[in-house]
C-alpha cells in the first residue's frame, strides 16, 4: 500500500486519531465475516461518524488509489464485508448508529445505516403505539446493521412472508458515491421535499442501484424505511410433515406453502425445516421438545397477526384449513409440545433461529452459506440437488472434518421462498482451498441447474455467477458500465462482484 503512514495521517485529519488504526491485531480482526474460509486483512480500519467523513475518506482513497471496503455488522456469510485479498481500508460503519427521525405521520423511520436491526426495532417498539420495520432484517439482526441488510438484500429476521425482503421496505437513501459526492435517493432527491415518503419518482429507481449491491456502488450512510404498528394479536402453530410413497415430504410442503401464498393468506412468517434438519436438532438435543412430541418428519410452522381476536381467529381458520386438507399433524400449542412458531415469535427474538445451525458440528464448526431465492414450486428440485451434492461429496467433507449440507425454507411475500442453508465444515485452515472448491461447486450447481438467485452478493457468489457463465455478456457489460461510471478509480469493493479483473 502506498505510503501507509501518510494515508493514516490524512484520515486522522478527517476523523481524529482515535477512530483510525493500522494496528495489526485490530486490522486482523476485520479480516473475516461469519465464515473463516474467505479472508483478507486490511491495512487500515476507520470508524467515521458522519457522511461527510465518509466522503473525505473516499476522496483520500481516490487520490491515493487505495481500495475501500465498507462494513456493517460483519455478519454476512459470503465475504461481503471484508477485503478481497489483503490491503485497503475497511470503513466500519457501526459508529453511525443513530435514529434520526421517526415520522409517525408517514410511518417512516430514518436512521444512520450503522444501527443494528435489533436495536432499531427495540427502540421503535417503545415509540408511540409501538412500531417495527415489518421485515426485520436478516436472521443475524442482533448484529447485522441496516446498511449491511440493505446491501445484502436480506431477510430472515421475521416478517418476510408478509413484507418481503428488507430492501422492499426502503423508501430512500443517503449515499456517498465512490468519488465522494453525497446524494439522496427517493423523495428526498427533491431538495424541497421535507421528509422521505416514497422511493420512486425523480427519475429511475436509483435507490435500487444501491440495494443488494454489496456496497460496490456507494456507501449508504442513511436509510429511510417503512415502519408498521406492532400487531396486537398473534397466533402460531407447528405441523409435522411426513412423506409418503406417492408424495415426498418436500412435495407436500411445497403444496401447502404454495396454497398459502396463492390464497394470499395473512401469514406473517412461515418456515419449513426438513426431516434431515429436524433429525439433527433432535439427535443433538437442541430441540428436545420436538423429540418429546414424537416428531419424526419435517416441520412446518407459521405465524399470523391481526388487530383483533376475531380477525386472528379467522386467519387461523383459513390458514389451518390448508394444513388440515394436506393431512399434517398439528403439534401442541406450547413450546414444550413442539410449537416452533410460538418459540420463534415469542421467545427466540425472531433473529436467533438460524444460529441453531452453528455448533451442530461441534467446536470449530462453521457453515458455508448457500442461501438463495427461488419460486416455491422449485423446492423439490433443490432437495434433489442437495441430495446429489451430498452423495457426491460426503466422503470428501468427512475427510476434511466436515458434516453435511442442509437448509431451512423461509416464506417470502408474495409467492417465493428462501432456501437458506449451507455446508457444515470445520474451520481447519489447512483445508481452505478444498473448502472453497466444494462451496463454489454447490453454488454453481444451484446457479446452472436451477437458475438460483443468490441475493447475497459477496466475494464467492460474484465469482460463482461469473464462472458459471450466468451473466449474459450484455448484462455483464451493463454492470461494468455502471460501475465504471460511478467508480472510475476502481477503489470501492473491488472484486465483490468479480466484474473482470479490474472491478
Partner 1 sequence: MRKVSETEGNLTNLTTVRSAALSCIHCGQCRVPHWPAKGIYYVCPVYKTEYTAKFEPFFARGKNIILKGLIWGDLSLNKEISEIFYQCTLCGGCEDFCHNAHNENIEFANHKWMSMVEVFEALRADLVEAGFALESHAAMNKAMVELLNPYMQDNKNKANWISQLNFKIKDANSENAEILYFVGCTAALTPQIQTVAIATAKIFNKLGVDFSVFGANEICCGSVAMRTGDRKAFNEVADKNAKLFAERGIKKIVTSCAGCYRTLKKDYGKRLEGIEILHTVEFLEKYFEDSNIALNKLDKIVTYHDPCHLGRHIGLYDAPRNIMKKIVTLVEMKTNREGALCCGAGGGVKKGFPNLALEISKNRIKEAEETGTKTLVSTCPFCFRNLSDGIKALGGDIEMVDLVELILKALT
| CB closer to partner 1, 48 vs 218 | 48
Nearest to 188 by CA among 179, 176, 197: 197
Give the burial class of 487: count Cβ atoms within 10 A of its Cβ; 0-12 exposed, 13-18 middle, 19 or more buried: buried
Q: How far is the CB of 355 from partner 1 (least distance, A)?
A: 4
Q: Which position among 202, 209, 286, 326 is part of the footprint of partner 1 (CB under 8 A)?
A: 286
Query: 53: part of which helix (H) or strand (E)?
Result: helix 51-64
Minimum Å distance from CB 280 to partner 1? Answer: 10
Least gap, CB of 308 to partner 1 (angstroms): 23
Q: Taking CB under 8 A as the rule, does residue 456 contact partner 1?
A: no
The site that binds partner 1 (CB under 8 A) totals a number of residues, namely 60
- 293 scored as a contact of partner 1 (CB under 8 A): no
25 burial level (CB within 10 Å; 0-12, 13-18, 19+)? exposed
The C-alpha atoms of residue 40 and residue 42 are separated, in whole angstroms, by 6
Q: How many residues does the chain have?
A: 503
| 3 state SS for 322-379 | HHHHCCCEECCCCCCCCCHHHHHHHHCCCCCHHHHCCCCCCCCEEEEECCEEEEHHHH
- d(CA 394, CA 409) in angstroms, rounded, equals 22
Return the number of the residue (350 or 413) whose C-beta is nearest partner 1.
350
Binding test (CB under 8 A) with partner 1, winner from 21, 152, 154, 165: 21
By CB under 8 A, residue 29 contacts partner 1: yes
Between 106 and 135, how does the x/- string for binding to partner 1 read (CB under 8 A)?
A: ----------x-xx-xxx-x----------
Cis peptide before 451 (omega within 30 of 0): no
Question: Where in 361-380 is the site for partner 1 (CB under 8 A)?
Answer: 362-367
Q: Which of 348, 381, 441, 449 binds partner 1 (CB under 8 A)?
A: 348
Which of 63, 262, 263, 288: binder of partner 1 (CB under 8 A)?
288
Contact pattern from residue 308 through residue 347 relative to partner 1, giving x for each residue in contact according to CB under 8 A and a dash for the rest: --------------------------------------xx
For residue 162, the 8-state DSSP code is: H
- Residue 46 or 499 having the CB closest to partner 1: 46
Nearest to 79 by CA among 418, 467, 462: 462
What values do phi and psi take at 218, rounded to 5? 175, 170
- In the chain the first and final C-alpha atoms are separated, in Å, by 18
User: Crossing angle for the helix pair 379-399 and 432-450, nearest 10 degrees?
Assistant: 160
Q: Which one of 23-31, 59-67, 395-403, 466-474 is the stretch in contact with partner 1 (CB under 8 A)?
A: 23-31
d(CA 480, CA 474): 10
- What are the cell numbers at 368? 458455508
**Binding flags for partner 1, 81-110, as an x/- string (CB under 8 A):** -----------x-xx-x-------------
Which one of the spans 17-25, 164-172, 174-182, 373-381 is the region binding partner 1 (CB under 8 A)? 17-25
| Site for partner 1, residues 59 to 78, rule: CB under 8 A | 73-75
The DSSP line for 315-329 is HHHHHHHHHHHTTPE
Report the candidate in 369, 352, 450 with the shortest Cα–Cα distance to residue 406. Answer: 369
Closer Cβ to partner 1, 91 or 257, answer by number: 91
Q: Give me the residues that bind partner 1 (CB under 8 A), please.
A: 17-19, 21-26, 28-36, 45, 47, 73-75, 92, 94-95, 97, 116, 118-119, 121-123, 125, 140, 142-144, 284-286, 288, 346-349, 352, 355-356, 358-360, 362-367, 427, 429
Amino acid at each position: 500500500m502506498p505510503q501507509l503512514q501518510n494515508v493514516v495521517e490524512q484520515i486522522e485529519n478527517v476523523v481524529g486519531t482515535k477512530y483510525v488504526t493500522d494496528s495489526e491485531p485490530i486490522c486482523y480482526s476485520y479480516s473475516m465475516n461469519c465464515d473463516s474460509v474467505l479472508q483478507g486483512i486490511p491495512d487500515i480500519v476507520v470508524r467515521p461518524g458522519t457522511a461527510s467523513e465518509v466522503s473525505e475518506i473516499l476522496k483520500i482513497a481516490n487520490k491515493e488509489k487505495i481500495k475501500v471496503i465498507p462494513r456493517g455488522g460483519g455478519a454476512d456469510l459470503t465475504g461481503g464485508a471484508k477485503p478481497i485479498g489483503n490491503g485497503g481500508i475497511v470503513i466500519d460503519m457501526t459508529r453511525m448508529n443513530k435514529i434520526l427521525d421517526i415520522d409517525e405521520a408517514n410511518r417512516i423511520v430514518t436512521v444512520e445505516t450503522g444501527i443494528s436491526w435489533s436495536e432499531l426495532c427495540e427502540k421503535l417498539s417503545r415509540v408511540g403505539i409501538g412500531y417495527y420495520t415489518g421485515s426485520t432484517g436478516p436472521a443475524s439482526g442482533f448484529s447485522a446493521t441496516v446498511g449491511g441488510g440493505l446491501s445484502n438484500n436480506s431477510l430472515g429476521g421475521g416478517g418476510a412472508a408478509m413484507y418481503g425482503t428488507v430492501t422492499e421496505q426502503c423508501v430512500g437513501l443517503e449515499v456517498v458515491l465512490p468519488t465522494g459526492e453525497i446524494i439522496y435517493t427517493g423523495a428526498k432527491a427533491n431538495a424541497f421535499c421535507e421528509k422521505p415518503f416514497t422511493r420512486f419518482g425523480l427519475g429511475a429507481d436509483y435507490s435500487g442501484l444501491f440495494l443488494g449491491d454489496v456496497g460496490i456502488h456507494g456507501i449508504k450512510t442513511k436509510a429511510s424505511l417503512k415502519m408498521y404498528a406492532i400487531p396486537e394479536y398473534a397466533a402460531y402453530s407447528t405441523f409435522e410433515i411426513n412423506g409418503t410413497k406417492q408424495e415426498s415430504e418436500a412435495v407436500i410442503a411445497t403444496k401447502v406453502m404454495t396454497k398459502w401464498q396463492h390464497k394470499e393468506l395473512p401469514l406473517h412468517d412461515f418456515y419449513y425445516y426438513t426431516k434431515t434438519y429436524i433429525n439433527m436438532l433432535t439427535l443433538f438435543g437442541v430441540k428436545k421438545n420436538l423429540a418429546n412430541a414424537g416428531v419424526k418428519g419435517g416441520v412446518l410452522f407459521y405465524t399470523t397477526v391481526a388487530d383483533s381476536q376475531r380477525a386472528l381467529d379467522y386467519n387461523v381458520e383459513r390458514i389451518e384449513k390448508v394444513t388440515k386438507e394436506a393431512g399434517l399433524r398439528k403439534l401442541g400449542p406450547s413450546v414444550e409440545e413442539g410449537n416452533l412458531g410460538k418459540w420463534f415469535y415469542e421467545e427466540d427474538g425472531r433473529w436467533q433461529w438460524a444460529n441453531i445451525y452453528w455448533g451442530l458440528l461441534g467446536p470449530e464448526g462453521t457453515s458455508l452459506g448457500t442461501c438463495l431465492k427461488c419460486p416455491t414450486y422449485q423446492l423439490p428440485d433443490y432437495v434433489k440437488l442437495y441430495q446429489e451434492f451430498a452423495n457426491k461429496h460426503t466422503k470428501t467433507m468427512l475427510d476434511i472434518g466436515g458434516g453435511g449440507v442442509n437448509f431451512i425454507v423461509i416464506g417470502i411475500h408474495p409467492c417465493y421462498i428462501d432456501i437458506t442453508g449451507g455446508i457444515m465444515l470445520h474451520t481447519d485452515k489447512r483445508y481452505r482451498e478444498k473448502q472453497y472448491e466444494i462451496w463454489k461447486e454447490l453454488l454453481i450447481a444451484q446457479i446452472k441447474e436451477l437458475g438460483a438467485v443468490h441475493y447475497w452478493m459477496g466475494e464467492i457468489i460474484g465469482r460463482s455467477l461469473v464462472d458459471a457463465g450466468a451473466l449474459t455478456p450484455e448484462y455483464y457489460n451493463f454492470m461494468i458500465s455502471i460501475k465504471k461510471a460511478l467508480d472510475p478509480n476502481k477503489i470501492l469493493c473491488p472484486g465483490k462482484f468479480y466484474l473482470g479483473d479490474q472491478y
